[in-house]
Amino acid sequence: MMNFLQTEKRIAQLLVVAALWLSAWNDTRAVAVEGVIELRVQLRGLFAKDRIDDFQKLCDDKLSKYGLAEVDYDQAEALFRFDPSKAMPGVGEKDFIAVLDNEVRNATRHTFSVRERRVIPIDQLERIEIQIEGLDCKACSLAVYELLISCPGVELAYASFKEQKGVALVERGKFDLAATKKLLSERGVRLPSEAKK
Amino acid sequence: MLFSKRHSIFPLSKSLSIRRFVSSLFGIVIAFGLIHAIASASCFGQEKLQEIDRAHIQTYCVECHSGDAPDGGLSLDSISDALEDQDQFRKWTQIYDRIDRVEMPPKDSKQPSEQERAELLSQIKQRLLQAEAKRWSSESRTRLRRLTRAEYENTMRDLFQLPGIHLQNELPPDGSAHGFDKNAEALDISHVNMAKYVEAADKVLDIAIAVQPQQPATKVQRISLANPPGFVAHVLMHGDGVLLKNKQVDPEFPAPDGHVHIDQGAHERMGSFHNGASVGLFRHEDESFHPYFNEFVAIYPARYKLRTSLWSFQWDKGKILPSRGTEVARLSIVQLTGDGRGGGHPSSMLVYLDAPSLQEQAHEVETWLNPRETIGFNAASLVTGHTRGEGGVMNFTGPGIVCDYLDVEGPFYDCWPPQSHRVLFGDLPLVEFKQEEHPNVRPPKHNPFRQQLFMGKNQADPVSGVWTVQSEQPTRDAENLLRKFLPRAFRRPVSEEKIQAYVAQVKFRLEQGDCFEVAMRWAYRLALCSPDFLYHVETFKPNTKQIDDHSLANRLSYFLWNSLPDETLIEKAASGSLSDRAELSREIERMLNDPRSNRFVEDFLGQWLKLRAIGMNDVDRNLYPEFNVFLQDSMILETKAYFREMISKNLPASYLVKSDFAMLNEKLAVHYGIDGVVGATVRRVDLPPESPRGPFLTQAAILKITANGTTTSPVPRGAFVMDRLFGQPPEPPPANVAAVEPDVRGATTIREQLAKHRNNIVCASCHSKIDPPGFALEAFDVIGGQRDRYRSIGEGEPAPRGKIDPLIGIGFKLGPQVDSTGETPDGRKFASIQEFQQLCAADEDRLSWNLAKRLATYSIGREVSFSDRDALDEILEEAKKEKAGLRDLIHSIAEHELFRTK
């Protein structure tokens, strides 16, 4: 009986640990030793691979207290390690992301932002590619990206005039391609052909 | 000089019939009528006068000027000799002039003998002099007059050493009398003026008084021409310009190739316009495009240094090649209105700067800036490139101007508190006002300097607390300060009684609970709105009709600087040394050599040659597509520089109409077809003998002012020349005669139309004098370009491009041939503008006489009347003792008795 209880208790403890782990994985935060936490967030503005370097440089220059540890381009996520008592004194845990988002926006002139991680796994998203034509210009690509990512149903987006395409990873059934293309056209983006899935 | 004949170059032509000069006879008829009037006066022998009178009337006048339909509409019986009536006086003066110029009787009529003419002139002159003497015995000739707007602004600027504050545009416009706004007849005053003077005084005192203990920090702000609040970032998105690094297209901002950049906001956030790239522009400023450096908006009124680096290039579908030559850019001072958004804010030209081919040229300019002012940019020598067609700018070939940056450094002060504050409060300390230490004293209400416009990235220094001057002995300090300030502001010694009256005002305000600064400010505002400040108060030397030395110093200063006397001049006035002619002459030299004399040049030319009106007509861009603001600014610069050169080199009045040099920059030189002038700077250029260019007569500014923007007409141009250069203004046209309208369709020439017009006998006599100079100037179009054929937007042949920029589209055609030949009324023919100039230059006496009259009218603030003519003759004689140049003339005027009497 004792063994059973101990086993049950151990299982319960394992479940709690597993739950905490899952929670940490999903809720973006994990408490580490000596007051340093890890904060994993969705990173917006990562519309092309060379933006990783841009973000890292900006963080090194202006946001070093938040300790950018990692940028995951495929998931469009960033991991920060920092001591909240030093980086965000007086800020409650529930406001960590909001405060970080504000700082990221200000430091990057609103070309990057952070938010809670996505809930829907990436393999459940539909990939839409839209052919675009324009100047090989990073700021123009940002404009397309921001338009795509703001469309309903879009979870992830990429844009590159160099590759002449915009990519949207969308929640099935919630994305209106025609409306998006209309918006792109209105923004001045030339669309040479139909989008392909 | 009693009977000096100021021969006109346009006496009546022998070839014209008597009938065509019926109206001209008007004068001689009136003249002999005047004899009749003189006969009744006690000053002449009645018998003799009547004899002459009758003889002349019978011989020359009665035939045409009597009966029911007298020629010219004038009967001898209706002549009035009531010379106290100004209209009658003016008519008699004209009669005198026409007889004196031997215009009348007409040369194809029977002439009086020289003796008869001289006697007649003498009698008319004496009668006119008597009438004026009677008039002046009852009133002052130079009446009390207020400061003009320009004088007011300059006076405030110099008094407070705030050299760039704007005040005159906030005051009601001045009128004009006898050609200038300095005449008492034109300078009325109303409650509106007074309200504006109070506002202006408050504005000056707000700026002058220091409100912080430390001088605002001097900072350097670097601004890209692509700064997002300006307009350039927007046009860069479309390819009207490019961003450049190391003289190549910035790879982060590719040149539009048919595709354009999208979303300016995204580019701003990505730093596209703040990455240190240079900005190359392919278009100039226009109604929809106003490049501003408005990330800087001045906060503190002070001096600033502007540094920029400019160069030019030839863009060839993406390649950066050497440019066609030195291009030119303009910096302007822009007064941002409202919330500062948008373009088209009022602006004034600051400087034109060279942009050499592929070679950065650094420029530094020092200027005064007022709050809410920023710097504008214009790629002035460019036309708008066709960069937005198929293939975008990558398919465009044309010139571009590059601005690497603009550094604004400032504010700069000579000391702190600034001089403006020291004028008011001397060396009294600035301390923080603490209410608890002065419970019964009201503190000053300051409006701390702050950034007023959102686009300005520069911010004011933080100031805590209220800072104000502290006086331990307020009454004594007030008296000391006012004793120094009032004579300076009033431009003359101030009586003890008046000083004490102002001190009493300060005491009163202190008793009412004001702090020292506010109480003093009250007195200063009173002073700045008082007649002592606002008016030219002139006083006489004891027992003479001469103005005293302080009044003389003022006249001199407002003549040559358009502002108050400086310390040196005041000292000389106080010591009485201005009464010494040699000393006076030295002062005139000093003042003419001082940069403040540019104010005289600007103010005098603005009115004499109507230079202020150069922008009053819009040029038809279909007919004159090459016209732009750069050309117009260059025209103004030429006219001012030419007058400056006339003063500097002491050139005679013949240079008004004929010259061997011109003052040109490249823009004007190209416009005039003169080679070898490069860059924006106006400089002296020697001309070949056959060139008509150089003098006022053929300067583009004058030719534009006398046209209407679309067409030229010999009438206004001829009238301008006769009036402004020769001092023979034509009579206004009769009310019932239709104006001649030039035909822009090119079907008929203005000469053909005027020929019909002159068939009207009423018109003929005046037009015989007006038209010849107008015909000669037909050699120039509405923007001062020389021409052989009229431009037409209707009929005509295809027009060659000539020196018009290849990027400018040409829509006009070549119409009829220009005929600039003519014949003066005395029968001298000219076949070209050059020949006409020769005829004009030969009449140097009249040109000099008119110039002297204009200068005298300007300088003494009243009409130069009939009885001043002898004085003018003396002035000219005096000038002739030297080189008879313009500088001599100015000396001669300022040293003559005319200048010293009221």
pLDDT band at B130 (very low <50, low <70, confident <90, very high): confident
Neighbouring CB atoms inside 10 A of B675's CB total 7
Residue B185 tokens read as 């007849």
Total residues found in chain A within this entry: 197
> What pLDDT is stored for residue A25 in this prediction?
47
β B789-792/B813-817 pair status: antiparallel
Angle at B872 between CA B871 and CA B873, to 5 degrees: 90
B210 in the Ramachandran plot: left (φ > 0), alpha (ψ -120 to 50) or beta? Answer: beta
Cβ neighbours of B254 in A, within 8 Å: 135-137
Read off φ and ψ for residue A165, nearest 5 degrees.
-155, 150
How many Å apart are CA B409 and CA B367, to the nearest integer? 11
B533 with B489: CB under 8 angstroms? yes
Comparing CA positions, the residue from B471, B474, B449, B475 lying closest to residue B462 is B449
Residue A83 tokens read as 């001591």
Q: Is B261 in CB contact (< 8 Å) with chain A? A: yes
Cβ neighbours of A142 in B, within 8 Å: 263, 266, 269-270
> What pLDDT is stored for residue B237 in this prediction?
95
For chain B, give the percent of residues with pLDDT over 70: 88
Q: Tell me how close the Cα of A187 comes to any Cα of chain B, in angstroms.
A: 7
Give residue-wise pLDDT tens across range B646-666.
999 999 999 999 999 999 999
Question: Residue range B150-175: average pLDDT?
Answer: 95
Q: Tell me how close the Cα of A144 comes to any Cα of chain B, in angstroms.
A: 9
| Poorest-pLDDT segment among A131-135, B562-566, B887-891 | A131-135
How many Å apart are CA B537 and CA B243, to the nearest integer? 60
Cβ neighbours of A135 in B, within 8 Å: 254, 256-257, 259-261
Question: What torsion do the CA atoms of B192, B196, B198, B199 make, to the nearest 10 degrees?
Answer: 140
Mean confidence (pLDDT) of chain B: 88
Contact A143 B262 (CB under 8 A): yes
Q: Is A133 in CB contact (< 8 Å) with chain B? A: yes
Q: Tell me how close the Cα of B384 comes to any Cα of chain A, in angstroms.
A: 23
> What pLDDT is stored for residue B42 in this prediction?
33
pLDDT band at A131 (very low <50, low <70, confident <90, very high): very high
> What pLDDT is stored for residue B92 in this prediction?
78
Q: Is A127 in CB contact (< 8 Å) with chain B? A: no
Q: Is B258 in CB contact (< 8 Å) with chain A? A: no
Report CA-CA distances (Å) from B474 to B47, B507, B515, B899: 78, 8, 9, 43
Q: Tell me how close the Cα of A20 comes to any Cα of chain B, in angstroms.
A: 39
Contact B269 A111 (CB under 8 A): yes
B543 in the Ramachandran plot: left (φ > 0), alpha (ψ -120 to 50) or beta? Answer: left
Angle at B87 between CA B83 and CA B90, to 5 degrees: 80
pLDDT band at B730 (very low <50, low <70, confident <90, very high): confident
How many Å apart are CA B669 and CA B687, to the nearest integer? 11
Contact B270 A138 (CB under 8 A): yes
> What pLDDT is stored for residue B901 in this prediction?
87
E strand or H helix that includes residue B508 = helix B496-511
Q: Is B272 in CB contact (< 8 Å) with chain A? A: yes
- Output the DSSP codes for B336-398: --TTS-SS---EEEEEEEEE-BTS-EEEEEEEEE-TTEEEEEE-TT------SSTTGGGG-EE
Give residue-wise pLDDT tens across range B504-542.
999 999 999 999 999 999 999 999 999 999 999 999 888
B8 pLDDT above the threshold of 80 = no
**Partner-chain residue, chosen from B257, B259, B272, that has the shortest CB–CB distance to A139:** B272
B341 with B331: CB under 8 angstroms? no
How many Å apart are CA B27 and CA B760, to the nearest integer? 19
Contact A140 B262 (CB under 8 A): yes
Determine the 3-state secondary structure of A160 from DSSP.
strand
How many Å apart are CA B242 and CA B387, to the nearest integer? 11
Give residue-wise pLDDT tens across range B330-359.
999 999 999 999 999 999 999 999 999 999
pLDDT band at B297 (very low <50, low <70, confident <90, very high): very high
Q: Is A136 in CB contact (< 8 Å) with chain B? A: yes
| Poorest-pLDDT segment among B151-155, B476-480, B709-713 | B709-713
Question: Residue range B842-855: average pLDDT?
Answer: 95
> What pLDDT is stored for residue A33 in this prediction?
54
**Partner-chain residue, chosen from B257, B260, B270, that has the shortest CB–CB distance to A139:** B270
Cβ neighbours of A189 in B, within 8 Å: 262
B430 with B210: CB under 8 angstroms? yes
The DSSP secondary-structure symbol of B777 reads G
Q: For residue A142, give the chain B residue with the closest CA.
A: B266
> What pLDDT is stored for residue B750 in this prediction?
72
In B67-218, the DSSP E strands lie at: 145-146
Q: Tell me how close the Cα of B318 comes to any Cα of chain A, in angstroms.
A: 14
Q: Tell me how close the Cα of B388 comes to any Cα of chain A, in angstroms.
A: 15
β B661-664/B535-536 pair status: unpaired
B765 pLDDT above the threshold of 90 = no
Q: For residue A55, give the chain B residue with the closest CA.
A: B270
Report CA-CA distances (Å) from B883 to B90, B142, B658, B853, B888: 33, 30, 17, 18, 7
pLDDT band at B10 (very low <50, low <70, confident <90, very high): very low
> What pLDDT is stored for residue B11 in this prediction?
37
B396 pLDDT above the threshold of 60 = yes
Beta bridge partners of A41: A78
Q: What is the largest CA-CA distance in chain B?
A: 101
B120 pLDDT above the threshold of 60 = yes
| Poorest-pLDDT segment among A121-125, B131-135, B320-324, B581-585 | B131-135
B403 with B310: CB under 8 angstroms? yes
**By 3-state DSSP, what share of chain B in percent is helix, strand and coil, each rounded to 5?**
40, 15, 45
> What pLDDT is stored for residue B64 in this prediction?
64
Look-up of token digits 């002995």: B473
> What pLDDT is stored for residue B737 in this prediction?
67
Cβ neighbours of B266 in A, within 8 Å: 111, 139-140, 142-143, 146
pTM assigned to the model? 0.86
How many Å apart are CA A73 and CA A169, to the nearest integer? 13
B572 pLDDT above the threshold of 70 = yes
B12 pLDDT above the threshold of 80 = no
Residue B83 tokens read as 């010379």
- Residue to test with chain B: of A53, A137, A141, A144, most B Cβ within 10 A: A137
**Partner-chain residue, chosen from A108, A136, A188, that has the shortest CB–CB distance to B262:** A188
Give residue-wise pLDDT tens across range B276-292.
999 999 999 998 999 99
Q: How buried is residue B251: exposed, middle or buried, by Cβ count under 10 Å (0-12/13-18/19+)?
A: exposed
> What pLDDT is stored for residue B201 in this prediction?
97
B552: Cβ–Cβ under 8 A, 6 or more apart, which residues?
A: B573, B578, B584, B899, B900
- What single letter denotes the amino acid at residue B273? F
Neighbouring CB atoms inside 10 A of A161's CB total 23
How many pairs of residues across A and B have Cβ atoms under 8 Å apart?
57
Tell whether the torsion through CA atoms of B414, B419, B420 and B422 is positive or negative.
Answer: positive
Angle at B179 between CA B173 and CA B185, to 5 degrees: 60
Residue B178 tokens read as 């006898």
B664 CB-side CA count, 13 A: 24
A32 pLDDT above the threshold of 60 = no
Report CA-CA distances (Å) from B492 to A95, B548, B761: 73, 10, 57
Q: Tell me how close the Cα of A75 comes to any Cα of chain B, in angstroms.
A: 23
Comparing CA positions, the residue from B480, B505, B503 lying closest to residue B424 is B480
B73 pLDDT above the threshold of 70 = no
How many Å apart are CA A102 and CA A114, to the nearest integer? 9
pLDDT band at B560 (very low <50, low <70, confident <90, very high): very high
| Poorest-pLDDT segment among A27-36, B33-42, B177-186, B847-856 | B33-42
> What pLDDT is stored for residue B759 in this prediction?
67
B39 pLDDT above the threshold of 60 = no
| Poorest-pLDDT segment among A119-128, B57-66, B367-376, B531-540 | B57-66
Angle at B339 between CA B336 and CA B343, to 5 degrees: 50
B825 with B796: CB under 8 angstroms? no
How many Å apart are CA B64 and CA B26, to the nearest integer? 9
pLDDT band at B94 (very low <50, low <70, confident <90, very high): confident
Q: Is A188 in CB contact (< 8 Å) with chain B? A: yes
Question: Residue range A175-182: average pLDDT?
Answer: 94
Question: Residue range B405-423: average pLDDT?
Answer: 97
Q: Is B252 in CB contact (< 8 Å) with chain A? A: yes
How many Å apart are CA A189 and CA A179, to the nearest integer? 14
> What is chain A's alpha carbon radius of gyration, rounded to the nearest angstrom?
20
Angle at B648 between CA B646 and CA B654, to 5 degrees: 20
Comparing CA positions, the residue from B34, B57, B51, B52 lying closest to residue B126 is B34
pLDDT band at B65 (very low <50, low <70, confident <90, very high): low
- Residue to test with chain A: of B242, B243, B269, most A Cβ within 10 A: B269
Q: Is A94 in CB contact (< 8 Å) with chain B? A: no
Q: Tell me how close the Cα of A24 comes to any Cα of chain B, in angstroms.
A: 34
Q: Is A144 in CB contact (< 8 Å) with chain B? A: yes
Residue B446 tokens read as 């300051």
Cβ neighbours of B259 in A, within 8 Å: 133-135, 190
- Residue to test with chain B: of A47, A108, A135, A138, most B Cβ within 10 A: A135
Burial annotation B294-327 (CB, 10 A radius, 16+ → b, else e): bbbbbbbbbbbbbebbbbbbbbeebebeebebbb
The DSSP secondary-structure symbol of B833 reads H
**By 3-state DSSP, what share of chain A in percent is helix, strand and coil, each rounded to 5?**
45, 25, 30
